[in-house]
Amino acid sequence: MMSLKTIREAAAWLRDFDERQVTITFHGGEPPLLAGADFYREALPLLSEELAHLKPAFASRPISGG
């Protein structure tokens, strides 16, 4: 699972990268392996605030092995 530290680093990199709208997609394994609600409660506001000028959109894509 991606750490909040990695989320912060990605936000810092994206902040000055471009001026176009950004869509952040969270990919995961089987549904039980997806990050829990607590992770998203912290990550989504952090990304929304840090990247407000890029009008971030969010998506989730679970990946099934079978």
The reported pLDDT for the residue numbered 61 is 77
Say what the alpha-carbon torsion angle 13, 27, 36, 23 is, to the nearest 10 degrees.
50
More reliable by pLDDT, 5 or 37: 5
Q: What is the pLDDT of residues 30-46, one digit of tens each?
A: 665 567 888 889 999 99
pTM of the model: 0.79
The mean pLDDT value for 2-24 works out to 91
What is the predicted pLDDT for the residue at 4?
92
What is the pLDDT, as a whole number, of residue 36? 80
Cβ 32 vs Cβ 61: under 8 Å:
no
